[in-house]
Amino acid sequence: MKGLLLLAVAALGQGLPDGSAFADPSPNNNPNTPPQKVLQQDSHSPLAPSDGSQRPNIVFILVDDQDLQMDSLLYTPRINRHLAQQGTFYANHFVTTALCCPSRVSLWTGKQAHNTNVTEIYPPYGGYPKFVAEGHNDNWLPLWLQAGGYDTYYTGKLFNAHTVDNYDAPFVNGFNASDFVLDPYTYQYRRPVYQRNRDAPVNYHGQHTVDVLAAKTLGLLDDALAGERPFFLGVAPVAPHSNLEMADETDTTSFRFSAPIPASRHQHLFPEARVPRTPNFNPDRPSGVNWIRRLPQQNASSVAYNDEFYRNRLRALQAVDELVEDIVGRLERAHALDHTYLFYTSDNGYHIGQHRLHPGKECGFEEDIRVPMFVRGPGVPAGHEVDSVTTHIDLAPTLFRIAGLAPKEEFDGTAMPLTAAEIEADRGSRQEHVNVEYWGKAGFEGAFGRAADGGPTTFLNNTYKALRVVSPRFNLYYSVWCSDEHQLYDLTVDPYQLHNLYPDIANPQNKGRGITIGGHPADQVASRLDALLMVLKSCQGATCIRPWQTLHPAGDVASLQDALEGRFDAFYASQVRVEYGWCELGYIVEAEGPQVPRIYQETHWSDWV
Ligand SMILES: *[C@@H]1O[C@H](CO)[C@@H](O)[C@H](O)[C@H]1NC(C)=O
Ligand SMILES: *[C@@H]1O[C@H](CO)[C@@H](O)[C@H](O)[C@H]1NC(C)=O
Ligand SMILES: *[C@@H]1O[C@H](CO)[C@@H](O)[C@H](O)[C@H]1NC(C)=O
Ligand SMILES: *[C@@H]1O[C@H](CO)[C@@H](O)[C@H](O)[C@H]1NC(C)=O
């Protein structure tokens, strides 16, 4: 980035909230109680009041890179107290692209990345300029909510490549007030630059980015509460993303990622914490495919470094934990808690050490695609856990429901169940699939993942399409890579994704060797998953929600289980396969092989003549 603006150094004015106003004693080394499954509570509260009273407010907290699988929620007592105990935890919530910018654009538009075509963090395939170029800045959630009668506010990280140079070309549309943290300072924990409304960027050198954000959040919340209309407030802290170190601000190639920097009041916490030693942690044998399979096992120094990296993530998260409590306290004092929905989630998950990976995301493993997801609000059962499959694509439709707006046809997802009645009705009828997709490169953060020259390590050909299927009968992950590799994990028996069944299934010599998944021959299951992926990889709107309908227009197949009926074996055996022509860094359709599946037609010709 050249020509950086001269940035005014400004003090924040008022004192920062110390986060202790409503807090219990500081978190200690004993992990807090995790979200627990509690018996369902009765609730009949309607979402949008029909009596003419004001529609509910929405406060949406979107953190950066927080994991679910590495137990980060054991270290966030306030989030657990205010959101888990007072709200509902969505235990099977997934992102559809495990990378900040594509995931956020999908979240704020309600569309899969193949429909936003924002697939990367930087141009030409991603970042704020691509978001603008694709027309999303004129057609996205905050604008829709404003048109629907809401006042809209946002502070924190919006997208990557939203910078001190391009923030006004054009300005972000759709917010009544905003205060964005901008690149290249987004990940500089102690040197953030924020940019308010149409003002010039302001440098908060020496202040912790989450504390700056907390003050801004509470200010915007006061403004929002003072308004006449219901409001949406987006709050996007950078924690616990890794920290960016720039040796030279005029040379954007001279950066490196290091562990996140906690607020100093938290830097001593959790001295004993370490990455959970699950069976997939730094395994003795390589796992996965492609570049992951070629990774060397980490040595003891690397594991120790990554454990400290992990502790610093937990420490950096503490300021977010305090912020959540501050938000709840402010809403409570304004008597707004009973007509405000609070959402809490992350843009993607994170891995450290699993499958020998160094700190990062961008993979399709559970660590990267599963994220924490809480909702608290009127009608939402307290202390409850939902196991229906939900994704970030479902969030825009969910916010529409809360606002009482009719869902857009272009939405690729459906509203999440919020009330006890909806949760009950959804069980068994909701979709069982998650359409995971990725284009481009993968990279590591942290010192030990670095290339020999000290720069960031990147791996090419990290382009893949994948499916997660979660139902009472099946728990599967299937992926097809641009390198023509495939993965199939049966998580019922292999929850840590260490045994790829696909090579055995594909090997003709293994036919009939009795590999089964959920009681069915594994090759039969694989043929159905591939066909489902064929539909989903270019689905739009209703096709993304009910993909089996495309394959079976008669409407008699609505799940993997239905599709496994023997009478469909020949149809699936002759189905077109998902494959790539070659690897690309973005969504180049020509490289992505066949696009259209065969459609099942009854062969009872007498019906037709
Ligand atoms: C927020 O912006 C919308 C759209 O411009 C406008 O209609 C509304 O009056 C604004 N609200 C406030 C409180 O200014
Ligand atoms: C551990 O591995 C790293 C590479 O990841 C290497 O740079 C370092 O020298 C190794 N340390 C020891 C003690 O072998
Ligand atoms: C990436 O894939 C292309 C084929 O699409 C291949 O030519 C190239 O060697 C691969 N690169 C790496 C680093 O695997
Ligand atoms: C996605 O964007 C890239 C970069 O602008 C473009 O080359 C590609 O054709 C687009 N893909 C689709 C399907 O529109």
Question: Which CATH number do you get for residue 126?
Answer: 3.40.720.10
Instruction: Provide the pLDDT for residue 605.
Output: 42
Instruction: Looking at the structure, tell me whether residues 536 and 583 fall in a common domain.
Output: yes
Task: Tell me the CA–centroid distance for residue 148 and ligand 1, in Å.
Answer: 11
Instruction: Provide the pLDDT for residue 10.
Output: 24
pLDDT higher than 90, residue 307:
yes
Q: Which ligand has its closest atom nearest to the C-alpha of 102?
A: 4
- Best CA proximity match to 378, nearest among 57, 69, 132: 57
Q: What is the mean pLDDT of the chain?
A: 90
Tell me, what amino acid is at 190?
R
Q: What's the whole-number mean pLDDT along residues 582-602?
A: 96
DSSP letter for each residue of 337-403: GGGEEEEEEESS--BSSBTTPPSB--S-SHHHHB--EEEESTTPPTTEEE-S-EEGGGHHHHHHHHH
- Answer yes or no: is 456 within a domain: no
Confidence band of 230 (pLDDT split at 50, 70, 90): very high
Instruction: Looking at the structure, tell me whether residues 391 and 502 fall in a common domain.
Output: no
**Closest-lying ligand 2 atom to the alpha carbon of residue 296:** 5
Instruction: Provide the pLDDT for residue 455.
Output: 72
Q: Which ligand has its closest atom nearest to the C-alpha of 148?
A: 1
Contacts of 42 (CB under 8 A, 6+ apart): 420
Q: Is the CB of 186 under 6 A from ligand 1?
A: no
Instruction: Looking at the structure, tell me whether residues 471 and 430 fall in a common domain.
Output: no
Cα 480 to Cα 255, 391, 464, 579, distances in angstroms: 33, 20, 6, 7
Q: Which residues of 98-126 are buried (b: 16+ CB within 10 A; e: fewer)?
A: bbbbbbbbbbbbbbbbbbbbbbbbeeebb
Instruction: Looking at the structure, tell me whether residues 473 and 600 fall in a common domain.
Output: yes
Q: Which of 402, 422, 437 is the last residue of a domain?
A: 437
- Matching residue, tokens 């060797």: 513
Instruction: Provide the pLDDT for residue 413.
Output: 98
Instruction: Provide the pLDDT for residue 454.
Output: 73
Tell me, what amino acid is at 595?
Q
- Answer yes or no: is 27 within a domain: no
Cα 34 to Cα 71, 345, 567, distances in angstroms: 9, 16, 46
Instruction: Looking at the structure, tell me whether residues 96 and 220 fall in a common domain.
Output: yes
What is the spatial distance between Cα 431 and Cα 397, in angstroms, rounded to a whole number? 15
Instruction: Looking at the structure, tell me whether residues 296 and 410 fall in a common domain.
Output: yes
Q: Model confidence over 521-541: pLDDT tens digits?
A: 999 999 999 999 999 999 999
- Answer yes or no: is 9 within a domain: no
- Answer yes or no: is 455 within a domain: no
Q: Which of the residues are catalytic?
A: 100
The two tokens of residue 537 are: 């990889």
pLDDT higher than 60, residue 254:
yes
Q: Which of 402, 437, 472 is the last residue of a domain?
A: 437
Task: Tell me the CA–centroid distance for residue 209 and ligand 2, in Å.
Answer: 33
- Number of structural domains in the chain: 2
Output the ligand 4 site: residues, CB below 6 A: 117, 124-125, 586-589
Nearest CA to ligand 1 atom 9: 151
Task: Tell me the CA–centroid distance for residue 444 and ligand 4, in Å.
Answer: 26
Instruction: Looking at the structure, tell me whether residues 521 and 555 fall in a common domain.
Output: yes
Instruction: Looking at the structure, tell me whether residues 405 and 490 fall in a common domain.
Output: no
Which of 116, 588, 590 to mutate to test ligand 4, by most ligand atoms within 8 A of the CB atom?
588
The least confident of 17-31, 115-129, 264-278 is: 17-31
Instruction: Provide the pLDDT for residue 608.
Output: 44
Nearest CA to ligand 2 atom 11: 301
- Answer yes or no: is 24 within a domain: no
Instruction: Looking at the structure, tell me whether residues 416 and 472 fall in a common domain.
Output: no
Q: What's the whole-number mean pLDDT along residues 90-102?
A: 98
Q: Is the CB of 584 under 6 A from ligand 1?
A: no
- Answer yes or no: is 39 within a domain: no
Cα 350 to Cα 235, 484, 600, distances in angstroms: 20, 25, 39
**H runs (alpha helix) in 30-126:** 77-79, 100-109, 113-116
Instruction: Looking at the structure, tell me whether residues 506 and 576 fall in a common domain.
Output: yes
Q: Is the CB of 445 under 6 A from ligand 1?
A: no
Output the ligand 3 site: residues, CB below 6 A: 460-461, 483, 582-583
Query: For residue 603, what are the domain limits?
Result: 463-608
Q: What's the whole-number mean pLDDT along residues 103-119?
A: 98
> 253-260: long-range contacts (C-beta < 8 A, 24 or more apart)?
253/455, 255/184, 255/456, 256/450, 256/454, 256/455, 256/456, 257/187, 257/445, 257/446, 257/456, 258/445, 258/446, 258/447, 259/308, 259/309, 259/312, 259/313, 259/446, 260/189, 260/312, 260/313, 260/315, 260/316
Q: Which ligand has its closest atom nearest to the C-alpha of 291?
A: 3
Confidence band of 428 (pLDDT split at 50, 70, 90): confident
Number of H helices, E strands in the chain: 17, 23
- Answer yes or no: is 534 within a domain: yes
- Answer yes or no: is 79 within a domain: yes
Instruction: Looking at the structure, tell me whether residues 191 and 338 fall in a common domain.
Output: yes
Instruction: Provide the pLDDT for residue 513.
Output: 74
Instruction: Looking at the structure, tell me whether residues 384 and 528 fall in a common domain.
Output: no
Task: Tell me the CA–centroid distance for residue 481 and ligand 3, in Å.
Answer: 11
pTM above 0.75, yes or no: yes
Task: Tell me the CA–centroid distance for residue 353 and ligand 3, in Å.
Answer: 25
Q: What's the whole-number mean pLDDT along residues 189-200?
A: 97
